[in-house]
Amino acid sequence: MNTDDTTSASLLEQLRRQSTDPRRRILFTGATIVTMDPDLGILHKSDLLVEGETIAAIGPDLSVEGAVVVDASGTILAPGLVDTHRHAWEAQLRRIMPDVDDLGGYVMTTLAGYATIYRPEDMYIGTKLAALTALDSGITTMLDFSHNSRTREHSDAAIEALRDTGIRGVHASMGPHFGDWDRQWPADLTRLKDQYFSSDDQLLTLRMATLATDEIAGPVLAYGPELARTAADLGIGVSVDAVFGKASSEAVLSWAEHGILGPDVTLIHSTGLTTEAWKAMGESGTTVAQIGLETAIPAVDEALAVGIRPGLSIDVEVALASDLFTQMRALLAIQRMRAVNAAYGRGGDLSRITTHDVLDFATLQGARTNGLGGVTGSLTPGKKADLLVVQAEDLNNMPLNDPIGTLVLGSDPRNITAVLVNGRPLKWNGEVLDVNLPALRAEVNASRTYVLNTPAA
């Protein structure tokens, strides 16, 4: 923002004083607004009004009574980014295996190893660290694929961590792969729904998390008609991880036969699938989450060919980057290499995706994939105010010539000086608010030390 630190701090004070007023108004003025709404496009030198939790208006020269005015000239306002799948509980295990190059190595170390000794407090601190990091890097919606729900208390801790950060969190619950656990999942989803997700208009939502096949962890966690019925009875979506290869392709075809594919079902990775499987996914409007730890090239062209625009995801911080700028740029580069290879006659005819495409994947398509397309993912009047203030005149971004190019190729988390979720500032003046970093660090380190030094159960 085009203000010095003192002004910015006093603005924050004003915003905080009004924070209990449901009609609180914040007016951002003079910004370049990348709405990612197909009908609104990009607006130059324009204003955006937040009223309570909602985006009330977007346009030039809005005049509004009683709003806290934020001079946003020299910035880009963008929708908050959306992560469609991250195993948040692993955050204190960050980069323990940065060079792991096969899924088996990851599974044996984390899911069959450290996961088995996690206590509820380790779930809490890992999930909290992941969510705060997400907010810092402009991710306002994070689907936590919480696949270490060993007891009810493990699930409670993961949900409470999301709640305590203020992020728009999607708690996708799954039982653990290995070791002793209470076998309370999936029945416990009913309790979770009643206890934490009873309203249709709240910051946190619930999904069921499952695996594609019984190859990794047996039949209990594998998606099929029975789990689909449980999810349908609860009125929640399903995210399916480890979708790859021949066995998953066969599973996809059987789900199509059972009529349990569709927009509420997200297939994660979706690599190495057959043409028939992709066809079934396209015809059913199934959603797809891309990138993550899998030994295959992201199948973005296969998705687009059947009319599926995917969301992006972080997956695991043990071996991958934590932010969506990296994922957007990685996907853009990978797909362009495939397209260039094709142009040289090595693999069919592919057109190149664009910076607009990957930003669309990281925002609107991510929201749709998470079942929140009507709520977030674009700057659209009537949607919730999940937005980023990105400095366009910083050393690495000036001068502003192409706002989408600047967001996708130029920016990184340091340029995001403010983040609002549901109309509430959670990052301001470059700092995530209300985080006691030394205390958080001590909790993270204590949990990390316990987890790494206790023999697997």
Residues at the interface with Zn ion (CB under 5 A): 241, 315
Neighbour tally for 31: CB within 10 Å: 28
Q: Which is nearer to Zn ion, 77 or 82 (CB)?
A: 82
Q: What is the smallest separation between the CB atom of 63 and Zn ion, expressed in angstroms?
A: 48
Q: Which is nearer to Zn ion, 77 or 227 (CB)?
A: 227
Q: What is the smallest separation between the CB atom of 316 and Zn ion, expressed in angstroms?
A: 7
Nearest residue to Zn ion, by Cβ distance, number only = 241
Phi-psi region of 76 (alpha: psi -120 to 50; beta: other; left: phi over 0): beta
Q: What is the smallest separation between the CB atom of 116 and Zn ion, expressed in angstroms?
A: 18
Q: Could you tell me which of 357, 335, 336, 451 has the C-alpha nearest to residue 404?
A: 357
449 CB-near residues (< 8 Å, 6+ apart): none
Cα separation, 313 vs 141, whole angstroms: 11
DSSP count for the chain of H helices, then E strands: 14, 17
Q: What is the smallest separation between the CB atom of 86 and Zn ion, expressed in angstroms?
A: 8
Cβ atoms of 30 and 45 within 8 Å: the answer is yes
Q: Which is nearer to Zn ion, 241 or 317 (CB)?
A: 241
Could you tell me how far CA 134 lies from the centroid of its own chain?
8
Cα separation, 31 vs 29, whole angstroms: 6
DSSP 130-188: HHHHHHHTTEEEEEEEE----SHHHHHHHHHHHHHHT-EEEEEE---SSS-----TTTH
Q: What is the smallest separation between the CB atom of 365 and Zn ion, expressed in angstroms?
A: 18
Q: Which is nearer to Zn ion, 327 or 406 (CB)?
A: 327
Q: What is the smallest separation between the CB atom of 87 and Zn ion, expressed in angstroms?
A: 6
State residue 50 phi and psi, 5-degree precision: -105, 130
Q: Which is nearer to Zn ion, 106 or 124 (CB)?
A: 106
Letter string b/e over residues 184-201, b meaning 16 or more CB atoms within 10 A of that residue's CB: bbbebbeebbeebbeeee
Q: Which is nearer to Zn ion, 83 or 315 (CB)?
A: 315
Q: What is the smallest separation between the CB atom of 5 and Zn ion, expressed in angstroms?
A: 40
Cβ atoms of 77 and 65 within 8 Å: the answer is no
Tokens of 211: 């695996």
Q: What is the smallest separation between the CB atom of 85 and Zn ion, expressed in angstroms?
A: 6
Cβ atoms of 335 and 300 within 8 Å: the answer is yes
SS3 75: strand
Q: Which is nearer to Zn ion, 315 or 386 (CB)?
A: 315
Q: Which is nearer to Zn ion, 170 or 203 (CB)?
A: 170
Q: Could you tell me which of 128, 106, 119 has the C-alpha nearest to residue 149?
A: 119
Q: What is the smallest separation between the CB atom of 83 and Zn ion, expressed in angstroms?
A: 12
Q: Give the count of alpha carbons within 13 A of 316, CB side only.
A: 22
Q: What is the smallest separation between the CB atom of 315 and Zn ion, expressed in angstroms?
A: 5
Q: Which is nearer to Zn ion, 313 or 378 (CB)?
A: 313
Q: Which is nearer to Zn ion, 107 or 350 (CB)?
A: 107
